[in-house]
Structure 1
């Protein structure tokens, strides 16, 4: 198969052959009949080569490398001088409660603090009636967030900031507070790319220094019973997704399923290694948490995730921030496909640009 694939890749004779034949014909070294034969050969090989590669490359065996079972080193660690800090921008009363509940579960898991953040757009006159109304609205949102946090027995430190740009205000505050995580939400999903990643969350996702959890919560995180976490790579960023699901499961007793999708059936040895690697991502967890690991064999990753999520309350995925040719943030194709088809809650975890550049270089 390897020889056939290589032969198929080297078979097309187009550019150099055609140029040499034209020069030879113009110089009188090759007849018109030979030139026509070269053109026919060029067409045949240009069509036949890709067809051969397409048929043979699918069946090429993929070498199975040894997978380490050691857990990746995570930077989500609270210290004695700085607790695990979660910044939660509050600007939509419809999503505020679920956001605070999610932040409270994560803060409880890490022994951290929630910092609800309200941004007031700067005005030319700070004593204007409009500025006073904005301040009152933001203070009301922060008061509600503080009450929710206190009722959930977590430390709450509300923040009110004046800034010219909301997205920059969120990113700057997160940096100033040395936040470990920013949690934001959106209420509409049918125009996912246009509405979500073209506006506020677009800019925060691109500029924040820490992971950003973009959430669409259809129910209270405290009532979820089954969380699905697709696993692609075995890195610290993947471990962050697992830790969010475990933080939810620790309170509600939810089942957490880690799913790895592969296009070809793995050997028994490799499947066992994959199971160990996925469990290593979870680290040391309470025996009360029902952790399941699955290896799903299917070429269409998005379809496999949607199938597994049919009976789940939450799917936790990862998204990559990259600039498109138009300058906008583009979401990965798999995340986009899954988000459009899911009927349950969704969390997309965006990692800082420095993190995934570092992983790509390794």
Structure 2
């Protein structure tokens, strides 16, 4: 409108956008509104149809498209696959409801109220049936991304968007005369091949890359970007839209990118800081108020479109929530996640305009509908998502005695990254406790060179943890032996877990399962987790968990199994449980009762003495062998347990091996926990 105000210098444009991204959450926060609304309004006011300060050029279109695909990708990436698998019926119910109700109601409104032809009315209704997970980042920030209602909404998205895009393909084909007797065969074959290639082929490619190529964070991040947008770009060849490809890529990579990892943090940070805000600004720029002032029919169409999509999506969310037993707050969150319109809506609008079914009034009505729903969606999710978070039973307030502290023993001879990844996966994010990396230098008189090397190891560890936005408190100890240094630090910190690795330069059994292990295991107040890494943990396909007989009667059983299930949950990997058939039912009952939830698959183990043979039968490439160890003197301990880790290491030289010795803390001595200040200590 005011070209004289337009900024053309790219540096100034980016600076202005950066200030908008910074100020939008601050300004909107004064009215208790999410920052996404501020970015949408800023795009409308400063865009080409407002003050004209910013032009919606190719840079905004590019970054906006990337932001939209990023939303779909991260939504699929953060899905709890265990919950999705168990609630797939919920996703199907909601997906069909949120497609059928808007599609049916929208067709009737388009034909009988607005006077469109049946093909135009059906295509118009497909705009209402689809939706975009615009408000998903808000649900993620509120900590409810793995709530059943949110998972259902995300799972239903791919159903309704796929059906809506199929309607678009059919109507466009009919109008252009492309629908013949082979149309459905071509469409079904191309889509089937496309989905199969992503969901089956991409995980294999990514697992190979993470094992053999991706040795640093930048390489892994660029690889993820390349495959996601590669999958999205191939969608048109399959008769679909890029948002479907990005969503499928997220599902395919879900198991390979743990939620508590540096790679996941990089993905979320880049999207929320740059790409998603650009998308919101670009959507806001589409609004042109002048069209409604000049054409009364355009105002009628816009009002009907906004009312229809809002009412139909609310009815779908409400009906699904009643059928599935969700609370009113969960129903509003589902509505907020499913009401926003963007990608598929724009695609259908453009196609309808090109083939002559839509005119300018419908195009502008669609833009206003996108803007209005993009304002409603984040407001609903932000307001009612807080109620869901408060009511969630998955986030109990922990007593001080339950606070978790992980001490991670590092050295120049062992691969620190694998141990730090394990510590990140075992850490409970809600505790907000740092991870304590420690190096122990043996006191041989001249320790200066060893201390310098140890401090470099700790510096690298702190840098790695900071990339995952996890605080670190590094410790250096000088002691006569490794066990003594670790135990002293463990007692000072009152650490609940100690994570250790196996040296690649010495024989693992001699180094770890000799006197060192015996000394460490004498302290029963913590859980000892020992990892022999051979491949990156995120490439794990399955956990093979060996539980000795009567281990469930040990006082530390719940603590040990809780760590293993947390690891399984992070890896989205099922657990095959191998325990003696006698007592297996009792153990399985206790396993299922321990949080968090994960896939538990029973395996057949007639006798504990045949464990190695059974493991050899079940082991496949990519499996993580996990042994729930037994401390001497416990009910599950037998003399054979002393050499069992060594035997497994020799039997499976190329496998990742994890041994967990559960802690048995004395509750009377852990009532008071001191919070040590992060510091590098020298003894």
TM-score of Structure 1 vs Structure 2, range by shorter chain: 0.5 to 0.7
Query: Relative to structure 2, which stretch is displaced further, 196-205 or 226-235?
Result: 196-205
Alignment of structure 1 residues 266-345 onto 2, 5 Å: 273-280=586-593, 283-286=594-597, 289-298=598-607, 300-311=610-621, 313-322=623-632, 331-342=641-652, 343-345=654-656
SS at match of 2:484: helix
| Partner residue, 2:564 | 245
Q: Which moved more, 1:331-340 or 1:248-257?
A: 331-340
CA distance in 1, matches of 2:443, 2:557: 38
TM-score (norm 1): 0.61
Return the structure number with greater helix share: 2
The within-5 A match list for 1:1-362 is 79-80=399-400, 83-108=403-428, 111=431, 112-122=433-443, 130-188=446-504, 191-207=507-523, 209-232=525-548, 233-235=551-553, 236-262=555-581, 273-280=586-593, 283-286=594-597, 289-298=598-607, 300-311=610-621, 313-322=623-632, 331-342=641-652, 343-351=654-662
Cα distance change of structure 1 residues 194 and 138 upon mapping to structure 2, 3 Å threshold: closer
Question: Which protein is bigger by CA-based radius of gyration?
Answer: 2
RMSD: 3.4
Q: Deviations over 1:74-124 (max 9, x none)?
A: xxx964477310111111354211011101111146734310012234466
- Give the match's secondary structure for 2:417: helix
Q: 1:97 to 1:241 in 2, by over 3 A?
A: same
Deviation at 1:205, TM superposition (A): 3.4
Tell me how far apart the structure 1 counterparts of residues 519 and 492 of structure 2 sit (CA, whole Å): 18
Offset, 1:242: 2.8
Number of residue pairs the alignment of both structures matches: 259
Equivalent residues of 2:408, 2:438 under 8 A apart: yes
- Structure 2: runs of 5 or more not aligned: 1-396, 634-638, 667-683
Sort the Cα spacing of 1:145 and 1:234 in 2 relative to 1 into closer, same or farther, 3 A: same
1:175 CA displacement: 0.7
Q: Which moved more, 1:104-113 or 1:138-147?
A: 104-113
- Preserved CA contact (<8 Å) 1:237 1:351: yes
Residue 229 of structure 1: how far off its partner (Å): 1.3
State the alpha-carbon separation in 2 of the partners of residues 271 and 116 from structure 1.
Answer: 37
Q: 1:322 to 1:248 in 2, by over 3 A?
A: closer
Instruction: Specify the alignment match of 1:25 in structure 2.
Output: none
Contact between 2:407 and 2:497, CA under 8 Å: does it hold in 1? yes
State whether residues 545 and 578 of structure 2, in contact with CA within 8 Å, keep that contact through their aligned partners in structure 1.
Answer: yes
Q: 1:345 to 1:82 in 2, by over 3 A?
A: same
Q: Deviations over 1:290-318 (max 9, x none)?
A: 33233433562332233233355212213
Measured after TM superposition, the shift of residue 167 of structure 1 is 1.7
Shift in Å, 1:335: 3.8
Q: Say whether the 8 Å CA contact 1:171–1:208 is kept in structure 2.
A: no
Q: Using the TM superposition, name which of 310-319 and 100-109 deviates more.
A: 310-319
